[in-house]
Amino acid sequence: MSGILEGKRVLITGVLMESSIAFHTAKLAQEQGAEIILTAFPRPTLTERIARKLPKPTKVIELDVTNDEHLARLADVVGEELGGLDGVVHSIGFAPQDALGGNFLNTPFESVATAMHVSAFSLKSLTMACLPLMQNGGSVVGLTFDASFAWPQYDWMGPAKAALEATSRYMARDLGKQNIRCNLVSAGPIGSMAAKSIPGFAELASVWDNRAPLEWDLKDPEPAGRGVVALLSDWFPKTTGEIVHVDGGLHAVGA
């Protein structure tokens, strides 16, 4: 029986560790029949090493989403490898240390601007760089962390994720005429490299121990990866501008 991504060509960003949602998305995508290509920055060699643990070999290309030269050449490089694209996964987020960990009121604008550029604006710039390869439509899926709340220690990554969520909605509006869907998966906390960069991450994650209706496992990124793969597939042909929560149901309950 063929997989739900059989024949699809997908670009996946953010594979840094085997424990990441992006890695499990890549693994599941291959298992479901997709051809994939990975991007990495600032250390492609790290991603190449992790990529060897995937079911099938895959090419890794360097991509700094804040670098216009990297973005300008992306379509040519990916086109040579895959011929075109049916899906793009945005798993990119970064904030300087002074924008995290309880420093919200003292963070300088330069650090906020960096967080916004890398974590939110890049969804648009990455998608536009890939657009020439998506002639037959496709699916763009990003990863967010519910921006409806002010989380402990998360600070300026919260507004950056809110900007990401708004960006996805506007992209859904403007790219729908090209049959391109834009959606996000709002995942619960995972003990990934990105999480480890957040001071006081354990305090944030402990919220799930007390409030999530479904038991949440910080060491299991696969449920979120499944959500991404489902949105990449043709099983959501008329869903766009949506945020699918894969967080054990925490978003639905009060204190």
Q: How far apart are CA 223 and CA 143, in angstroms?
A: 13
Task: Find the angle CA(129)-CA(130)-CA(135) to the nearest 5 degrees.
Answer: 130
- Active-site residue 154, yes or no? yes
Which position among 27, 59, 154, 196 bears the catalytic label?
A: 154
The residues, any chain, with a CB within 8 Å of residue 190's CB and separated by 6 or more, are 19, 20, 21, 218, 219, 220, 221, 224
Q: How far apart are CA 99 and CA 118, in angstroms?
A: 13
Q: Which H or E run includes 89?
A: strand 87-90
- Active-site residue 161, yes or no? yes
On whether the CB atoms of residues 227 and 183 are closer than 8 A, the answer is no
Q: In what order do the strands lie in the sheet with 243-246?
A: 60-62, 35-40, 9-12, 87-90, 138-144, 180-187, 243-246
Which position among 8, 53, 161, 177 bears the catalytic label?
A: 161
Tokens at residue 75, please?
Answer: 């379509």
Closest by CA to 133, choosing from 86, 81, 173, 174, is 86
- What's the N-to-C CA distance of the chain in angstroms? 44
Q: How far apart are CA 145 and CA 160, in angstroms?
A: 10
Tokens at residue 84, please?
Answer: 């075109």
Give the active site residues.
Answer: 154, 161
